[in-house]
Chains A and B, each alone.
Chain A
Amino acid sequence: MDQEINQPIEVMAVFERGIMLPVRFRWNGRVIKIAHITSRWRTNEGRFRKKHYSVMNQNSEFFQLTYKERTSEWFLNKIWVE
């Protein structure tokens, strides 16, 4: 099941053909390398955008990240726990 985390995190991202994609992030002292982006979508916060990414690492752990355009911040929103 999903577990809400909602913590600010540091993220390293790349731009591919104008699309921002996270590649790794630091959370709880761990550096997590993103192996696969399973889904991404956008929502609006006023005139600013929030970009959401569902990602998995090599160990098939699942994370949901959000980039808030208004404050240029990344958040870890959710993780999956069995």
Chain B
Amino acid sequence: MIAPRPMKHNSGEIIKYSVSPKTNEVRFPDHPKEPVILHVDMDAFFASVEQKERPWLAGKPVIVGGDPQKRCGVVTAASYAAREYGIKAGMSLLAARRLCPHAVFLIGIHGEKYEYVSSRLVKIFRQFTPQVEPYSIDEAFLDITGCERLFGPPMELGRKLKEKVKAELGLSCSVGIAPSKLLAKLASSLNKPNGLTIIPKEKIRAILNPLDVTELCGIGRSTAKVLSHLGIHTAGELASYPVEVLKRKFGIVGEWLHFMANGIDCSPVISGAIPDKSMGHSRTLPRDIDDPKQIASILLGLSSLVARRLRKGGFLGRTITLRLRYSDFFSLTRSETIPRPTDSEHAIFKVAFKLALGLVSGIRKIRLLGVSVSQLIRDEKPLQIPLPLVEYRDKREEVYSVMDRIRDKFGEDVIRWGGATVFG
């Protein structure tokens, strides 16, 4: 039996709900109606954007990938025609070329173009409901509860939304509709590409039970492996497994797994921006390095990018993390928490470089470096800085401010610190 209890969503919001002990049915006391959630997943998004731009590529195997010259030679997206040859995101371009030599390879990721298309998608979604939560660049959740009077039943709304996306952007998407985000996301994945799937309340168990646990959103390979040791392979087996045992094995996640397998997900669609927990940048280097001067140059460049984002967002951070990958692909991270939160690239660089120096072995060269800052707080700078704090403010603060203003006006690449690597 599942006791009724409030659940803290990762947004910090407390969601009140109760669960029927007999049917496992979720009830939302604060919600006058059963929620209707729609999940949109764009079909092979990056590849489709490129095919729309280059009409002669429609229906052909198209592979979008990183630049091998920058040693980022992996598949980022593959059209459905390319997927038929077994090509998947994350695979090396070399392997993809072996599987499908006649595919069209579009090298270089045009992030800004995809972000622009993504922003236009969100504008389309907002024509149907103000409750839109972009989940990634090509996915979003929409709370369409109560939209029937404007757009008809959920299936009709889903159809209209697909038509609008196709008409305005020339792209196809898969839509899933269900009483929760978890099930809506599952629904959109059941019938791809160009699908429109609804999971009605009465069919939840029948659809969930035979599914492999890895098909549930959030269960990765490592969790699936542990579950497999418990003899759990399907969502049905997970749903009927004693929740207390799952809690002992996985902690709080065990309860979450139990809820998920039972189709219970009370997380709301959050239409506002979700606050960042950390900000970071990493780069695969053009060639492996172990020279401290080069490492310093790259880390100052990365620290500048991170600090600029912190200042732009109005954040300060305390924990600085260095991410490093050696030439043999062995990766590790090291963190240090500083006494006072900062948004200064030099403070971030100082820590990151110190951490890096401890990891330069002289045996293995470095392939990738990354810097991130977490434990973020809002920067609430007083108009007049109290005197005792002045000494703690970075002396370069005025320079940062001037550099930020120049970047705001002319773009990010127009000014940099001497010695810092510029990342295009």
Chain A residues near B (Cβ < 8 Å): 1-2, 38-39, 41-48, 52, 54, 56, 60, 62, 70, 80
Within 8 Å of chain A (Cβ to Cβ): is B116? yes
Assess whether A46 is in contact with B53, with CB atoms less than 8 Å apart.
no
Cα A39 to Cα B106 in complex, Å, equals 16
Cα A49 to Cα B106 in complex, Å, equals 25
Assess whether A44 is in contact with B55, with CB atoms less than 8 Å apart.
no
Assess whether A43 is in contact with B116, with CB atoms less than 8 Å apart.
yes
Cα A82 to Cα B56 in complex, Å, equals 12
Assess whether B53 is in contact with A39, with CB atoms less than 8 Å apart.
yes
Query: A-facing mask of B19-61, CB < 8 A → 1, else 0?
Result: 0000000000000000000000000000001001111100000
Cα A38 to Cα B113 in complex, Å, equals 13
Assess whether B52 is in contact with A39, with CB atoms less than 8 Å apart.
yes
Main secondary structure of the interface of B (DSSP, over half): helix
Assess whether B54 is in contact with A54, with CB atoms less than 8 Å apart.
yes
Which chain B residue shows the least CB distance to A43? B112
Assess whether B411 is in contact with A41, with CB atoms less than 8 Å apart.
no
Which chain B residue shows the least CB distance to A54? B53
With A1-B105, A43-B112 known as contacts, the answer to whether A38 contacts B410 (CB < 8 A) is: no
In the A-B complex, the 10 residue pairs with the closest CB atoms: A45-B411, A39-B53, A41-B116, A46-B411, A46-B410, A43-B112, A54-B53, A46-B409, A41-B113, A38-B53
Assess whether B54 is in contact with A80, with CB atoms less than 8 Å apart.
yes
Query: A-facing mask of B96-115, CB < 8 A → 1, else 0?
Result: 00000000111110001100
Assess whether A62 is in contact with B54, with CB atoms less than 8 Å apart.
yes
Main secondary structure of the interface of A (DSSP, over half): strand
Q: A1-B104, A70-B411 are in contact. List 20 more A-B contacts (CB 8 A).
A: A2-B107, A38-B52, A39-B53, A41-B116, A41-B117, A43-B116, A44-B411, A45-B410, A46-B407, A46-B408, A46-B409, A46-B411, A47-B408, A47-B409, A48-B410, A56-B55, A60-B56, A62-B54, A70-B410, A80-B54
- Which residues of chain B are within 8 angstroms of A62 by Cβ–Cβ distance? 54
- Which residues of chain A are within 8 angstroms of B383 by Cβ–Cβ distance? none
Cα A33 to Cα B184 in complex, Å, equals 46
Chain B residues near A (Cβ < 8 Å): 49, 52-56, 104-108, 112-113, 116-117, 407-412, 414
Assess whether B54 is in contact with A42, with CB atoms less than 8 Å apart.
no
- Which residues of chain B are within 8 angstroms of A41 by Cβ–Cβ distance? 112-113, 116-117
- Which residues of chain A are within 8 angstroms of B412 by Cβ–Cβ distance? 46
- Which residues of chain A are within 8 angstroms of B411 by Cβ–Cβ distance? 44-46, 48, 70
Cβ contacts A to B, 16 pairs, < 8 Å: A2-B106, A38-B54, A39-B52, A39-B53, A41-B116, A41-B117, A42-B116, A43-B112, A43-B116, A45-B410, A46-B407, A46-B408, A46-B409, A46-B412, A48-B410, A80-B54
- Which residues of chain B are within 8 angstroms of A45 by Cβ–Cβ distance? 410-411
Q: Whole-angstrom distance from the CB of A9 to the nearest CB of chain B?
A: 19
Q: Whole-angstrom distance from the CB of B375 to the nearest CB of chain A?
A: 29
Which chain B residue shows the least CB distance to A47? B409
Which chain B residue shows the least CB distance to A78? B108
Cα A39 to Cα B112 in complex, Å, equals 14
Q: Whole-angstrom distance from the CB of A3 to the nearest CB of chain B?
A: 11
- Which residues of chain B are within 8 angstroms of A1 by Cβ–Cβ distance? 104-107
- Which residues of chain A are within 8 angstroms of B117 by Cβ–Cβ distance? 41
- Which residues of chain B are within 8 angstroms of A70 by Cβ–Cβ distance? 410-411
Q: Whole-angstrom distance from the CB of A41 to the nearest CB of chain B?
A: 4
